[in-house]
Each structure stands twice: as structure tokens, then as C-alpha cells.
Chain A
Amino acid sequence: MDMQNAVNETKIPKRVLSAILSGMSAGIVPRSGAQYIAIGRRAEIAAMLSDLEKISDGGGAMRFLIGRYGSGKTFLIQLIRMYALEQGFLTADCDLSPERRLSSSSGGGAATYRELMKNFASKASPDGGALGPVLSRWLSGIRSDVAASGLEPDTAPFEDEVRTRIYKTVRNLEGAVGGFDFSAVLHAYYRASLDGDDEKQSAAVRWLRGEFATKTEARAALGFSVGSVITDDNWYDYLKLMALFAREMGYRGLVVFIDECVNLYKITNRVSRESNYEKILSMFNDTLGGRAEGLMIVFGGTPQFLEDTRRGLFSYEALRSRLSEGRFASAEYTNLLSPVISLRRLSDDELLALLLRITKLHSTYYAWNARVSDEEMITFLKNALDRAGGNVMITPREIIRDYMTVLDLLYQNEALTMADLCKSGETPTASEVPAAPEAPTEERRKYTPEDITF
């Protein structure tokens, strides 16, 4: 069949290409270059990019990425996360678990906050741990600006002007809930940086990361009293403050990714589960009601987490009325203006397109012509999908990992063909399994030690 495709020339940094192939071989989302293996999902990605524009303008946004296991939720989250970092946003992400929740009376909420702060990332620290560097850079930026205005560094007028600019920034935070303590700790960080007091600096960062359990502990470390520490009750207020502060520092906003929300669905106690849903509702109202400036929150979860009317979000009426699509929704038309992005499974053609892409990337990186014909590719995919239970259970991750292994083997063994590999990796169907040989009727020979030779 003739193809009618525009020829696109796309350039990929070699290191990025290496990272893509390594990631796919390991079955993980590559840390960089995920955009080169983004097949389909154009509308979903465009919807989320428009959300980023919205928070860049000072608004708030919230999305629910809902899809079955293997539908690509985590891939999409990583993709948007890396895009956001490159665009000048700060990001934070965490996976919920039985120990990490949104609402808890036993430290589960604060644990979520600590995990988010541990994975706090910037463009220069994409793997997390960016809180310290971001603060340092902010202070350093202020000092550079003041120096550029003509004041001599390390003089009294210079330090006064630096202090004034810092106070101006943090004063804007004092109006928010928890803002006084937040700005007091930032002051402490600045003073400690001036004095070269690493211990106090570290204590300030620890407070911002929610690592103090009590005010007494915080006071002992910081050297002054704080009105509060970050707890189950107020961690979300401090997340909003962090978004506000990110914008004050010159970043475009804060994007928070909370995955594995199915762990909330699994909470057996109804009261606890609903208090977590109430927290989601509160976040929803804040972000979409303009009370969370510069903050975008993305929840990742399964369809049951969202739509189960007994235990999912739809069991909570206030969320159901806000999130359900109503009677006009259908599998054919999806509404991407709604907060919920439903990720259907990749179609077979989309999976095949992914294999085509991987083949090209592999060929380019290793500078060889992959010995895989179109028909062989289709056969490989059919085998993967037709494996016992494969049509339901297999995920793109597993298909990609297996295909990468095939390409690596073909690359390293010139005589090997795709047909050989497909045959060796194939699970025979019941009709193809030869019947077990009949047990011999003659008496078994008795072996003696003399029969064994070394």
C-alpha cells in the first residue's frame, strides 16, 4: 500500500538516544527522550500542555489520568514532567501507598508531603533533591541582580539591598496560610547562608521538607520558635505556598504528580477513605477556583479508583457530580476539557507503530539496518498478544522490552533471523504439543557405578 506521509526530519541527541534505548531495554520510562517514543496520545498531551500554560499565567489546574495498568499513565506523567522541567516549572511527584495518603491522622499526609519534597525537581536537578539548589539559586540570583544594579558586593548597602529584595519576596507569602512560618524559615536560610552556617541552612531545608515531627525539635534545630511544623493537617497548605514561592522565585509554577491513587480505593475503612476523597475535593476546588496560584496537580489512577460507585471517587457524590461526564460521553468521543483524561489501551496498530519507531531508533543508534521485515514485526506482535491471556494482561512495557531483546540479539548475531527468534520464543499451542511418549514396558536397566565414566 502506498504511504502518504510527510517526511519529517527529526534530530535526536545521541546521548538521549542512548538513554531511550537503555530505558526501554530495562522496561522503564527513559529519563530523557520519552517524547521520541510518544505514539498516539496527541490530544491528551496537548490538553496537559495547555494546563501548563494556564498555571504559567497564575491559574491552577487539576487532571485525573485514568487508565488500566499498562495503558501508559506513568509514561505520560514522566513525559509531561520532563516537558514541564524544560519549560521552567518545578515538579514534585510521589506514588501513594498504604503509608502515604492524602489525609491521615497517623502521619500519612505528612509522609506524602515529604516524598513530594524528596522528589522536588528542577531543570538542573531533574531526579529530585532540588529544594536546596533552588533556594541557593534564588539567593544567588538576587545577589547577582543587586550587583548588576551597580552596588559593590560585600558592602553594607549591597547587603541591605539584598535583604530588602528578599523581604519583599517573602512578604508576599505572609498572607497565605502558614506564610509567616514559611517566610521566617526562608529568612533563617538566608541568614545561615550569609554566616556560612551549614547546620542552620540544613535545618531550614529540613523544615521546608516537613522532616520535623514537633515544634520543639524544629526550635532546637533552627534556633528560634516556629508556630507550626508541617503535619497531616497542613501539608497541603504548604504545598500551595511552595507553588506561590516557586513563582516568586521566577519559575513558572509547580506541577505535582500523585500516582498510584488506587491505594486510596483500597482503604477499607469508609470514613478514612472518604476523608482522603474530601482532600481531593478540596484540592479540586482550590485549583479550579483560583485559590492555588501556579499549582497543577495530576492524579494517576485506575478506572476503578475513579468510577466504582461503591468505593471509588464516584462513591463520593461531590466528586461524582464534578468529574463524571454524563450521558453524552461515549467511547467514540472523549471530552478533554473535562478534568478526567481517560487513557484507553493502545490499539494494535498503535503498538505496531511503536515497534516501527523502536526499530528505527535502534537502527540509527547502532548504525545498522535492522533485519526485521514488516511481516515479521506483525508476527511478533501477534504472538505477543495471542500468548495465553496476552490480549488482556500484556502491557506495552513488556512488548517493548521483549522487542528490544530481539533487536539486540539480531544486531549481535548476524546469522540470526527474526523467524528463528520468533520460533524459539513461541509458546506452542495445545494442538502443537507432542504427546508424551509412552512409558517403556521393559524392565528398567539397573545401573552400577561401573557405568559412570568421567
Chain B
Amino acid sequence: MDDRFGNDAFWDLVPPQKEKGETVPRKDTSTVEIHIGGDRPLRKLPSSRVFTLRQEKESPKLLLSYEPKDSMLRAVRVYAWPERYGFYEDFLRDAHRYFPERGVKTPPLPFFAYTPQYSHLTRAQLAYYLYFRTQIREEGQYPPADFSYVMLLIYEILNLPDLIPPARGAELLGGIWYYYRETYRQLDKYLGEWLCDYCLIHRVAPPQVVVREIVPQLGERVALREFYTDFEENLSGSATAFLASPYQYRNSRYYKENSDLFDRHITGALDEAFARMKEDGTSPLTDFSLMRGKITRDAYCGAVCAMSNKRKLEIEYLSFSRSPEFRETVGLMVKYAENRVRAHLHIKSRLGARGAGHWRTYIDDYFAKHLPAPTASASSRASREPVDTSYERFYDAPPSTLKITSAAAIEADSWGTTELLNAAFDEEQTVEIEPIVPKKTPEPPAPPAPAPAEDDLFEGRMTPFYREALRAAAEGRFPAYCREASRLADAVLDEINEIAAETMGDIVLDADHTILEDYKEEVLSWICKTQ
């Protein structure tokens, strides 16, 4: 049909395709029920034979949500584990079974397993494990044990919050960490994370022994350092120094011998500085506003943990690592405090700690009160104190009279020393000399001694091979000559030099396989003579 302009529909295009994103199925995919084989219903397969091709992930179930007080953690949400697994159910069952057992004193037995579980223990090992656990649980003693026993006990504590009250569980974990970390340093890596998870899941505070004794040494070895530090009201110098500072003063080369001074005064100075900054409103926390961070972490990662105890955590916190200005300031404060300690110890080298801030004055005030720097007069007084030099008398020459007779006696006697040392030296081809015998009248000059036939002696020990080697050395082809003779050049050089040293008192070949200039003429003339 023509349009209003009189054009026909020949050029009309088909209606446009549907918009992108909209798919139009080509075939009818609606479900149709069909029956096969009459009215007999289909055999129902047992559930164990039913496999879901793609298991859909369930949304994790929120179990707990809270906002910790006095903590750098602002919000914690604890979720159940979203995926099902059953390979630690046996462990959990065994843990419940053995929980009430008490152990008796047993000699220690070695035990090793990569992921220790009760089923890995022999009867004897189990007996020792129970004794070990009883000592820790009931006696507060920490007997020596292999690392696998320690890990087994940790796994047990993590998996039995229903039987071990969480506060008690945290205390046990803290004790295990404190007493065994010297022997098993890897505990820092594991318990640093697992204890954090355990406390967050069960809403308990970290044990004081951990905060006081272990955290200062952890530095950046724990992922969530903010968990281990109290917040603003109680922002402690020690925790901040260790957890927030990019510079760890415990790595200082002077720390080992002065650890007490370093620990006491650096943390003390920071404590005082933070407290005073908070009073005058210049706290670095308010100045720099710690940035918020949010992380999701799997609890007890790497541990033997039954599914019922496994959790997922979502934590919002005030982050040290995301607050570079705060970290930089704390780092400068730590370095500045260390410089003051170094000044007290008369250590001249200093860390670079430039930067403005009221904290310098506060740190100076602290050290002026608790650890004043030595005054110039005190240090110069110390250097002026007389040093005992009474030992010098042992090094003075003995008194003597400067008499020729005494000297002659000493000189004659010294030939004995010479003879003692000459035991190893070649005594042939020498010039005779007589010892000094002082006389009143001078003697007529002694006739000169006959010249020794040293070259003959050297020549006498030169084999034809050595002779040719010397010729080759003169011609600059010593290494090639030795190689042709299947001998190592350095070895032949060594042998010839040894003979020369014994017969002539000196070597003749240099390290570069050439004849020494001093002896070139002699050796060459000797070689020509023997041609």
C-alpha cells in the first residue's frame, strides 16, 4: 500500500529486532510432563544417589553482631560457615569423648603429624597427651612436648566452646602461646590469628599475658593488629609503638644489650606523650583521623576445625595500615625516644626523626624526669678518671748497664736461638762466620770465605723435566709445556720453587710462570750450559 507520499511498500524493512538483552527462545522450553511405561510411577532414587550438578551457595547465616567497646574494632559480625563439609566430624567426636579424661604422669613420647588428630595417636602417645593436657588445664604447668601435641590441644580448645567456657579457653590459648613460643616460634603465626578469631567469635577479651608479653614483639606478624590494642582512652604507648609504628625499636642493633632501658623508656615516653596530647587536644588520633577499614576473614584458617565451629567474620575497624600519617607520626615518636635512650648510653649514632609536633616536648619532658642525658661535665669527668696503667711496667726494658761484655754474652747466647730456628733450614753452601769474641786489640781481617757452588746444588736437583720447564718459562710457554706433560702448571712451579728455596734460599719462578728478574740471567746461563 502506498504511503501518503505515494511510495509503495517495496522498500519497507521488516520490523526492528528486539532490544539487546532480550532473548527470544527459538524453541518452546516449557516443561511437559510425559509418562513412560504406563501408570507405574518412576522409581525414587535414594538421596545419596542424587547429585546436584551445581550446588548453589547459601548466603551465610548471621549468628552474632556487636560493636566492641574500647576497641579499635568498630563492628563485628559473625556468620556461620556457608559451605558444608564433614571431614573433621570424627575429630570433634573424639574431642568430646576424651574431654573428661585425666592423664597420669607419663614419660614424654615423640609425636608428629601435619594436622594432628586423636586418631593419629598411639595408645602410649594418647596417654602422654592426656597427662600433658591435665598439667596445663588443672595444674597450670606447661611440660615439654612436641609441637604436634601442642597443636592438638589448641585444636581441642577451638572446637569445644561448649565444654570449655570461652573466657577460660582464651586464657588457656594465651598460656600455651606464652610458654611454648620460645620453643616453637611458628605459634606466633597461628595463634596470632586463631586467638583473635576465638575472642571475636565468643566476645571475650584477649588474655592479659598476650597483650602484655607477646603483642609487643609481634610487630607486623599478625593480620589484624588493631584487635590487640585498646582504643583512644587507653591508647598505650607500648601497643601503639609495636603495632602502628613502621619502625620496630626491638630490631635496633643496640636493643639486645639494653632491652630493659629500651622497653621501659620508649614505651613510657610514648604513653606520656599520648596522654598529654589527649589532654591538650592534639592527639594524633584526632589530628589524623584513623581511616576505617573493613575485612572479611575465615576464622581458624588452617586449623583442624569442625564445620559447626567454623565461622566467617566481618570486621569494621579503625585501621593503622590505612592511616599513613598516623603511622608516620608514631614512627617518628619511637625513633625520637630511641635517640634519647641512645644519648643516655653514650651511643653517638642517631636515627633520622625530623618533624614538627608537640610530642617532641612531651618526650623531652619524660626523659628529663626519668632518664636525663649525661651532662658534659659528667662525661668529661668520666673520661678524666685515671685509667690503671700499672701493667705498663711489664713492658719496660729491664735495667742494664750498657757494657760490651754483657752484650757479647747475650750475642753469643743468641746463636742458640738461631740454631733452634735453623733446624728446618738447609745448611749447605753457606759462608762460615765466627761469633763475636771481644778482644782488647783488633785482629787482622779474616780472609774471605770461598764462594759456594750454589748453582751446582740447584742444578743437581733439577731433573731433565724441571730443566725443560725452566727453559719453557724463559720462553713464555711454561703452562703449555706442563699441559703437554699432563702436569698442572702451578704444581710444577711449586716444586721448582721449593727446591730453589732449599738450595738457594729464594724462589726463582714468579706466580705468573715466568722467571724472576733477579735470577733470570743466572738461570738462563745455567740452562745454556746444560744444553
Contact = CB atoms under 8 A, between A and B. Distances in A.
B395 A353 contact: no
B326 to A, nearest CB: 32
Given A9-B432, A13-B430, A348 B490 contact: no
Given A38-B417, A331-B393, A349-B406, A10 B433 contact: yes
Contacts of B511: 125, 129, 133
A97 interface: no
Contacts of B347: 269-271
B452 interface: yes
A41 interface: yes
A42 interface: yes
A378 B404 contact: yes
Interface stretch (B93-101, B111-119, B407-415): B407-415
Interface string A254-283: 000000000000001111000000000000
B493 interface: yes
B398 interface: yes
A7 to B, nearest CB: 6
A39 B408 CA distance: 11
B387 interface: yes
Contact of B392 (A303, A343, A354): A303
Nearest to B347: A269
Contacts of A130: 494
A356 B434 contact: no
Interface string B207-240: 0000000000000000000000000000000000
A81 B421 CA distance: 11
Given A12-B430, A136-B494, A349 B422 contact: no
Contacts of B420: 42, 45-46, 49
A11 B393 contact: no
Contacts of B404: 1, 352, 374-375, 377-378
Contacts of B416: 8, 42
A15 B504 contact: yes
Interface stretch (B22-30, B268-276, B443-451): B443-451
Given A9-B434, A12-B430, A271-B253, A347 B414 contact: no
Contacts of B493: 124, 133
A309 B412 contact: no
User: Taking each of A4, A353, A355, which has the highest tally of chain B beta carbons within 10 Å of its own beta carbon?
Assistant: A353
B249 to A, nearest CB: 15
B414 A303 contact: no
A139 B446 CA distance: 51
A140 B437 contact: no
Interface in B493-510: 493-498, 501, 504-507
A91 interface: no
B462 interface: no
B411 A8 contact: no
A419 to B, nearest CB: 15
Interface in A266-320: 268-271, 303, 307-310
B434 to A, nearest CB: 7
Contact of A137 (B396, B412, B494): B494
A447 interface: no
A5 interface: yes
Interface stretch (B184-192, B291-299, B317-325, B480-488): B480-488
Contacts of B14: none
Contacts of A445: none
B436 A360 contact: yes
Contacts of B409: 3-5
Interface string A418-434: 00000000000000000
B396 A45 contact: no
Contact of A11 (B400, B430, B454, B498): B430
Contacts of B419: 8, 10
A42 B490 contact: no
A168 interface: no
Nearest to A79: B421
Interface stretch (A216-224, A225-233, A364-372): A364-372
Contacts of A244: none
Contact of A349 (B410, B487, B490): B410
B507 A40 contact: no
Interface in A119-156: 122-126, 129-130, 132-137, 139-141, 153-154
B408 A134 contact: no
Contacts of A35: 417-418, 421-422, 425
Nearest to B439: A3
Interface string A306-347: 011110000000000000000001010010000000111111
Interface string A3-34: 11111111111111101000000000000110
A344 B398 contact: yes
Nearest to B254: A271
Given A41-B417, A45-B421, A374-B404, A140 B487 contact: yes
A104 interface: no
B486 A378 contact: no
A371 to B, nearest CB: 9
Nearest to B408: A3
B253 A347 contact: no
Contact of A19 (B492, B501, B505): B505
B348 interface: yes
Interface in B20-47: none
A430 to B, nearest CB: 24
B460 interface: no
Interface string B107-147: 00000000000000000000000000000000000000000
A191 interface: no
Contact of B488 (A12, A136, A334): A136
B361 interface: no
Given A349-B403, A357-B414, A140 B491 contact: yes
Contact of A8 (B394, B415, B431, B497): B415
A133 B490 contact: yes
B401 interface: yes
A417 interface: no
Contacts of B445: 367-369
A11 B432 contact: yes
A36 B253 contact: no
B430 A40 contact: no
Nearest to A83: B421
Contacts of B495: 124, 137
B408 A193 contact: no
B137 to A, nearest CB: 43
A360 B446 CA distance: 11
B50 interface: no
B494 A364 contact: no
Given A136-B489, A342-B395, A360-B436, A86 B417 contact: no
A382 interface: yes
A360 B507 CA distance: 27
Contacts of B507: 124-126
Contacts of A86: 424-425
B429 interface: yes
B437 A87 contact: no
B489 to A, nearest CB: 7
Given A15-B506, A356-B407, A381 B402 contact: yes
B435 interface: yes
A12 B437 contact: no
Given A10-B415, A124-B497, A348 B402 contact: yes
27 contacts: A3-B405, A10-B415, A10-B422, A11-B430, A12-B430, A13-B430, A14-B430, A14-B452, A42-B420, A67-B395, A87-B424, A124-B493, A129-B511, A136-B489, A136-B494, A140-B492, A141-B491, A269-B349, A307-B391, A334-B394, A342-B395, A345-B397, A348-B397, A353-B407, A360-B435, A368-B445, A375-B404
Report, nearest first, the 6 A-B pairs whose CB atoms are least far apart: A11-B430, A136-B490, A140-B491, A352-B407, A367-B448, A86-B424
Interface of B: 253-254, 257, 346-349, 387-388, 391-422, 424-427, 429-438, 442-446, 448-449, 451-452, 454, 483, 486-498, 501, 504-507, 511
